[in-house]
Amino acid sequence: MPTAKKPVAHPDLAEVLFTGQQIKRRVRSLAREIKTVYGEGEFTIISLINGAVLFTADLMREIDNPVRLDCIRVSSYGNKTKSIGAPQIVHSLTLDIRKRHVLLIDDILDTGKTLQLVSRLIRDLDPASLRTCVLLDKKGRREVPIEADFVGFEIPDKFVIGYGLDFAERYRNLPCIGVLRPDRQSTDGWSAG
């Protein structure tokens, strides 16, 4: 008799918050929420890379509207688990978004500084509308007053990895989202590459 498949966790995880299946279901329902707002109309997705890559790819495939895609790269945490000062735009848009409906997508809303910075940049480009969507929301950590229009899951103030989210560029490829073990929150002893 075939044995039931166990979800694959990772030894560096203290706990799994959301399995791949749970993420998939939530992404599907988020897509339906988004669809009720945009109807059949076209909109432009702006994804904040690298973190939002997996979320954006899965969400887009649940949406049958005509969509355009562009990406913005914002400077990241480095090897720390806490935000380091002000985020900066490292690579900006290539598409023209003037008079276009824009949906800005990020992996996680933490202090809010990243979403605030990018929202301002987009607003300055005179879009028809701007809405924001994040997979995860650490509400308790907000330092600037900003909320996302669409939120996948609210989570506690813990450093999470997987499904696009990294620690020092590792773990983005985990299919689940989990809390990084405190004893792994150091890059000592890691070699480059």
* Beta carbons within 8 Å of 152's beta carbon, 6+ residues apart: 23, 26, 27, 30, 55, 134, 135, 136, 137
Query: Is residue 107 among the annotated active site residues?
Result: no
Q: Of 138, 39, 64, 58, whose CA–CA distance to 105 is shortest?
A: 58
Q: Which stretch binds ligand IMP (CB under 6 A): 5-13, 57-65, 103-111, 124-132?
A: 103-111
- What is the rounded radius of gyration, in angstroms, for the C-alpha atoms of the chain? 17
Q: Closer to ligand IMP at the Cβ: 33 or 147?
A: 147
Binds 137: which of ligand IMP, Mg ion, none (CB < 5-8 Å by kind): none
**List 100, 113, 132, 148, residue binding ligand IMP (CB under 6 A):** 113
9 to 68, contacts with Mg ion by CB under 5 A?
Answer: 51
Q: Name every residue whose Cβ is closer than 8 Å to that of residue 97 and which is 6 or more positions away in sequence.
A: 44, 46, 70, 122, 125, 127
Q: Is 159 in the site for ligand IMP (CB under 6 A)?
A: yes
Size of interface with ligand IMP, in residues (CB under 6 A): 18
Residues with a known catalytic role: 110
Residues that bind ligand IMP (CB under 6 A): 48, 51, 76-77, 83, 87, 106-114, 159-160, 165
